[in-house]
Amino acid sequence: MARKTVMRWRLYASYFFDYAIIVVLIVASGVIGLLEPHYSAFSLEDKSLQYPLLEQTVTSGTLAAVALIAPAAIMAAWTLLLDKYLYPNVPAQRRLWELNCALLGLGLSIMLTLLITSSIKNIVGRPRPDAIARCMPRAGATDPPFMLSTVADVCTNPDKAVVMEGWRSFPSGHSSTAFAGLAYLAFFLGGRVRVLDNRGEVWKAALTLAPLLLAVVIACTRIMDKWHHGTDVLAGSLLGLATAWVAYRQYYPSLADVDKAGRAWDLRSWGSVRADYVPSSAASSMLGYDQLDEEAQVEGSYAGSRRRTPGLLDGAE
């Protein structure tokens, strides 16, 4: 009993570092955001930099609600409420564990994306499409012969924060963050409904792709508002998508592994899923879980997913 207790607390403690890393990512990205970016030289005659400074269609607050709060709420509702119906035999502790993994992955996806995005923005220092409007060049300013202008030479805007933000175009932070949160949600939903189960059910694909469509819309507004160039948005979107996939795979099996039905790995078991998700008869029919082989249903397992780490979860619960 004492040994199980020690193992349980060691396992819990191992996840402290997951949360600690997310906190470190938050602090680091915040600090980097306060640093002055590299100011790339530019031409006052460059038409692509002469757009007016416009209001944002999707503000930072809206982005946080859509890419972070909404996915967290959806995953919480799925794991705590819908799973209670789909898998009536699963204890509450296990559903809480699933939520823990879902939120850890979401936090890792978004915070890692923010850190990478902020770092690249400051290093590259690419001017936004509205950079000249932010710069407020002095009257009569022109480019030096056979050279480009610099912020220090021609800009007169007293609001340094506005000028700094004008040279943080690449990659798009809204695009990367939108995909980091919403692509992660898409992977979560795709795993839960077994989108790659070869049953050809369109509703599963639609449910999985819906968050990605929303991310695309958010990314497109950055071009519409003239806050980013097209390449900024493309790079940011790919960055967020890649980070979401990496974060998802830290806690979940591949979407192609439909037997595991999108369930999180067990407590630091690195590759096993606990065999206790037995769906109700109604849920089996709705989601296609009636395809589980007879032996797996008797054992209370997903088909083909019977590996577990003996005693660890029993002691943890």
Largest interatomic CA distance in the chain: 82
Q: Nearest Cα to 317, choosing from 105, 102, 75, 100?
A: 100
- How many Cα atoms sit within 13 Å of 107 on the Cβ side? 15
What sections of the chain are H helices per DSSP? 2-34, 60-64, 70-77, 83-86, 92-124, 131-135, 151-154, 160-166, 173-193, 202-224, 230-251, 281-287, 294-299, 312-316
- How many Cα atoms sit within 13 Å of 229 on the Cβ side? 18
Within 10 angstroms of residue 317's Cβ, the number of other Cβ atoms is: 13
Cβ atoms of residues 180 and 243 within 8 Å: yes
Active site residues: 174, 228
Q: What is the DSSP letter of 149?
A: B
Within 10 angstroms of residue 253's Cβ, the number of other Cβ atoms is: 21
Those residues whose C-beta lies under 8 Å from the C-beta of residue 234, and which sit 6 or more positions away, are none
